Amino acid sequence: MKTILSTIKKYKILLIILVILSLVCAYIFSPNKNFPSDTGEYRPVILGDTIEFTQDGNSDLYVSKNLGWGDQEPIYRCTVEPDIYMKLYVNNDDQAVKLNVLAAGSFPEPYKSQEVKVYANETLIATWIVSEQQWHTATIPAKLIKDHQLDIHFNIAHPFTPDGDTRKLGMIVSEIKLDKIYGLETQKQIKNWLYKHIKKIIGELTPEEKQALTEPVQPTPAN
């Protein structure tokens, strides 16, 4: 009977700790969805959400022809100018942001791929070689994002105009996603917070509960 009570106490304590960990992670890693009522020409984007460049997607909210983007195709949208832009409002909480773009390249002969330079607020952050469809990524340092405003600029090295077409093609884009990157200082703060509160929980345990937490669980004898 004593072993059973000890086991129950142990799992009860561990369950409390797991619930706290879950609540902390949900609070820290949930995206900030609070945007000002007026963000001007910058379109609010929730970090972690996907901008889908499909017929039923939401890319119309974030791109337009005057920013170098073509018409919506069934499963993608092409870039149609040598310079393409996105103007986004991001709640990055002073953290770096990872830019993810699922795209294929459109390029003239004799090239085998398209070279794309990526800028964030006029600073070069990556040079991509885009050929077959795959994910391309770039890190946007927190210091580049001023007042939550993020200007993304794609520069196409070798625009391609097919016969009978007037567009200057570069990338064939299917999805774009921005994710928050947690720096070492934030990770340290999370660890300190968890250590402090778990230590507090353990400190409030009775001697019997502390003993139950450290005792190995005894297997139940077979009948």
138-149 pLDDT, tens digit per residue, is 999 999 999 999
The answer to whether 130 and 40 have CB atoms below 8 angstroms apart is no
What the chain holds in terms of domains, given with CATH numbers, is 2-30+185-214 (no CATH), 43-181 (2.60.120.260)
- Which tokens is 183 given? 């720096």
The pLDDT tens digits for 65-77 are: 999 999 999 999 9
Contact yes or no for 178/152 (Cβ under 8 A): no
How far is the C-alpha of 154 from the C-alpha of 118, rounded, in Å? Answer: 5
51, containing H or E segment? strand 50-52
- The 3-class secondary structure across 79-96, one letter per residue, is ECCCEEEEEEEECCCCCE
CB–CB of 20/198 below 8 Å? Answer: yes
**Chain Cα centroid distance, residue 164:** 39
Helices (H), the chain: 2-29, 184-203, 207-214
69 alpha-carbon distance from chain centroid:
23
pLDDT at 191 over 80: no
- Structure letter (DSSP) for residue 222: P
pLDDT tens sequence across 76-121? 999 999 999 999 999 988 889 999 999 999 999 999 999 999 999 9
Helix (H) or strand (E) holding 217: none
Q: At what angle do helices 2-29 and 207-214 cross, to 10 degrees?
A: 90
pLDDT tens digits for 43-54? Answer: 999 998 999 999
C-alpha of 160 from chain center:
31
Alpha carbon distance 169, 73 (integer Å): 14
User: Would you put residue 118 in left (φ > 0), alpha (ψ -120 to 50) or beta?
Assistant: beta
